[in-house]
Amino acid sequence: MSFAKQLIAPQRPPPPAPRPWTISRFAGLSLMAIWILVAIGVILFLTAEWDPEKVAKYAPKYFSGLGVTLTLVSISIILGAIASVPVALGRMSNNPLLSMPAFFYVYFFRGTPLIAQLFLIYYGLGEFRHALDSIGLWGFFREPWNCAILAFTLNTAAYQAEILRGALQSVPRGQHEGAKALGLSRFHTYWKVIIPQALIVALRPYGNEIILMIKGSAIVAIITVFDLFGETRRAYSRTFDFQAYIWAAIFYLIIVEGLRNLWNAMEKRLTRHLKR
């Protein structure tokens, strides 16, 4: 081949170099192998201990508890999202009469355990039964379900307020100035320009908050709300079969994995214009 043809002929890229066996890669493969062995062991254990009578008796209760868990988390997330808007606006306000109460609210509910907040509402407010009864609120606070909804709503509202505040403040100031130059009102600026960009930033933290709420919902079993974990405890107390907790863990894993994939699909859909 002549020298000119060698210049014109396309050059093949060199083959990729093999990846070196780094410590992190070896650790990752080792952990994956351990998880595979654990999964195989769990499958073998459940297969060996399979009892059709127990499954027929307790499977409907598990699905009933699963419905309670999903209902509790869904209502709390929706009410928390509504409550988080004024809290986030208060945190962003320059008026100390608005920012300070919002700050202390977020500081308290993010700085204390959810189980402590649940106990303060369910057990603590019982000390004021006569006062609550005199204003007609005792009928609400004596029900464990209502106390669980209130505690979860107040807790997630604090986290969602910080997520919303951070997302809104992450939008560049130039977006506000550009909307103002176009003559858009403050309402239309936020509704058409700021909020759509902020929601893309907040999408992943919102998904993490929902997952944390689902896993944290197991504590309501302590106050006799028979969610998924509550039904698991009841099944174990009657059978003393350890696989009751394994099935509960499988249910939680399925829920979390389903939400994770749903959030990944939503994120790819909403950010498809950023990857072109």
For 258-272, what is each residue's pLDDT tens digit? Answer: 998 998 888 888 777
Asked if pLDDT for residue 7 goes beyond 70, the answer is no
**Residue 126 is assigned to a structural domain of this protein:** yes
- Rounded mean pLDDT, 2-9: 53
What's the token pair of residue 73?
A: 């988390």
Residue 231, domain member (yes or no): yes
CATH, residue 169: 1.10.3720.10
Asked whether residue 44 carries a pLDDT value surpassing 80, the answer given is: no
Confidence at residue 87, expressed as pLDDT on a 0 to 100 scale: 94
Domain, as residue range, for 117: 61-274
Q: What is the pLDDT of residue 137?
A: 84
Inside any domain, residue 80: yes
Run of H or E residues at 66: helix 52-92
pLDDT at res. 3: 52
Identify whether 5 is part of a domain: no
Q: For residue 43, tell me if it sits in a domain.
A: no
**Is position 44 within any domain?**
no
Question: Looking at the predicted structure, is the pLDDT value of residue 132 above 80?
Answer: yes
Give the number of residues written for the chain.
276
The pLDDT, as a whole number, for residue 127 is 84
Count of beta carbons in the 10 Å neighbourhood of residue 164: 25
Give domain status of residue 153, yes or no.
Answer: yes
CA gap 68, 119 in Å, rounded: 20
Select the more confidently predicted residue: 118 or 55.
118
Res 111: pLDDT: 92
Residue 63: which of 257, 241, 254 has the closest Cα? 254
Alpha-carbon span 31 to 235, nearest angstrom: 32
Helices (H) and strands (E) in the chain, counts: 13, 0
Apex 30 CA angle, 27 and 34, nearest 5: 135
> CA 10 → CA 4, 5, 217, 219, distances in Å?
12, 10, 61, 65
3-state SS, residue 222 = helix
Residue 156's pLDDT is: 95
What per-residue confidence (pLDDT) applies to 51?
75
In a domain, residue 116? The reply is: yes
**pLDDT at position 268, please?**
83
CA distance 271 to 275: 7
More confident: 179 or 5: 179
What percent of the chain is modeled with pLDDT above 90? 32
Number of domains in the chain: 1
pLDDT above 60: residue 10: no
pTM for this model (two decimals): 0.81
* 14: confidence class by pLDDT, cuts 50, 70, 90: low
CA pair distance 167, 190, nearest whole angstrom: 12
Least Cα distance to 168 among 144, 191, 145, 137 occurs for 191
